[in-house]
Structure 1
Amino acid sequence: MNRDSRKVTEEAWLICPNWTEVRRFTKNKNNKDKFFEYMFIDSGIVVGSSGEAPPLMKTRKEIKIDEARKEYQQLITAGWQVTEPRW
């Protein structure tokens, strides 16, 4: 995904407004479901005052790609910003 959440790319990163949490959206390339595509959403906590270290990954969930698009758009609406890969 990118700024246009209807497009699916291999990976997209968002960072929260206060720069304490990141989310990585990645397409599940090994999906066995023939009817639906899935994405992983990894959440991590930013480590250090300026984020010089990779974030500490806290959670991973796998959801249908349409649900991932909705979550991505909700985060953008809530003030999250597109960021560079963090790990």
Structure 2
Amino acid sequence: MQIHLTDKAAEWFHNEMFLEKGEYVRFYVRYGGSSPIQQGFSLGVNKEDPIDLGVLQKIDGINYFIEKRDTWYFDGHDLYVDYNEKLDEPLYEYKKNNG
């Protein structure tokens, strides 16, 4: 699985989370909420260092990651993060990967 972020999404995270080069942003599984791929779970985001890195994508010196223990949530999908200008927030999509 992979993490894909558009430039606009990366800029949003940088500004909203006050990120500096070398810092980490974790995408994690939350109990509750809604998701198109896992009923009863949703995606959360936090600025924190990894413990057991599963997937990593570096963009402009910022490390976006998913812990190994959370990769089950994606069920063979890659995570695509875009930016919704109208709502001024990230837009998450899950696309089936070939691996």
For normalisation by structure 1, the TM-score amounts to: 0.31
* Greater percentage in strand: 2
For normalisation by structure 2, the TM-score amounts to: 0.29
